[in-house]
Amino acid sequence: MNALNWFAPVLITPAGLVGIVVLIGFIFILGAMSFKLVTQTKNVVVERLGAYHKTLGVGLHFIIPVFDRLVKTVSLKEQVKDFEPQPVITRDNVTMQIDTVVFYQITDPKLYTYGTENPISAIENISATTLRNIIGDLDLDQTLTSRDLINTRMREILDEATDPWGIKVNRVEVKNIIPPKDIRESMEKQMRAEREKRQTILIAEGEKRAEILRAEGDAEALLLRAEANKREKILQAEGEAEYIRKIKEAEALGITLIKDAGADQAVLTLKSLDALALVANGQAVKMVVPTNITDLASTVMMAAEFSKDHPKK
């Protein structure tokens, strides 16, 4: 009889059913809290009983609920922080506004969690004080033209200061430099005057170059005209010389023909006069008529006889 009682159906009251459901839910919740999935580029700092226990990397991790607590999830990506413009004073007592951009990366989640209360605020304050120190050693013109120097020095100082906090400062960039309004107006006037000066210099150089080119052109044209005139005169003289040579050859040929024909004294005299007339027709030839034409004819005849007695070899 007692054995049959073991197989008797167990009666579960509604309150017992609720308790079972609550127990099962608690087990599931406890199991869910016992595992932590950490994604890429993330680290999780875990404390056990209030003290640092470990840092969870990428993957699925088991933790003890109630005893272990997830303190901080840290991103390992490079981050950018744009700080508000900071008032700084240059060496020549000019007050200006400068805002900077800091590129940093967390390298040690434990130091980042326990190193300082507010790391970003600490970086901002260090950046402001460092910027004031650097700009205090520079005058206005150096500040406006030394961005690379400011960036390098700030990066070195910030990187050294944030190393105990597990932060690596990769770059610091000066985003904007804002001088006072009166300084900006003076700079604009100076730039305008400089541009006008360069414009005047360029115009003067252009005019000078144009004058030089015109003078060179005139000189070249003068040389060409002189050369052309020289060539013209040479050709003209050669033409006149050739003309006279042809006339003389014709005279000599005429005399030879007359001699060969056996012309008398009168014919020779008339031919001599014709030859003199032809010579007188040439340019730049002045004809002088002798008083005794007969003597001239005799001279021509003598030349003919001389040519006869002394023939060309």
The residue from 35, 51, 74 where one domain ends is 74
Which of 3-18 are b and which e, b meaning 16 or more Cβ less than 10 Å from the residue's Cβ?
A: eeeeeeeeeeeeeeee
Q: 84 and 149: one domain?
A: yes
Measure the CA–CA gap between 143 and 139, rounded to whole angstroms.
Answer: 6
> How many other C-beta atoms lie within 10 A of the C-beta of residue 224?
10
Q: 298 and 259 in one domain?
A: yes
Q: What CA–CA distance (Å, rounded) separates 118 from 226? A: 92
268 and 302 together in one domain: yes
Position 285 scores a pLDDT of 47
Whole-prediction pTM? 0.53
Residues 38 and 120 in one domain: no
Domain that holds residue 290: 243-309
Report the range of poorest mean pLDDT among 4-13, 39-48, 110-119: 4-13
Using CB atoms within 10 Å of the CB of residue 260, give its burial: 0 to 12 exposed, 13 to 18 middle, 19+ buried: exposed
Residue 103 has a pLDDT of: 93
Would you say residue 184 has pLDDT above 80? no
pLDDT surpassing 50 at residue 90:
yes
For the chain, how many structural domains are there in total? 3
Residue 20 reports pLDDT greater than 60: yes
168: Cα separation from own chain's centroid: 35
Q: Which of 27, 56, 74 is the last residue of a domain?
A: 74
The gap from C-alpha 165 to its chain's centroid, in whole angstroms, comes to: 43
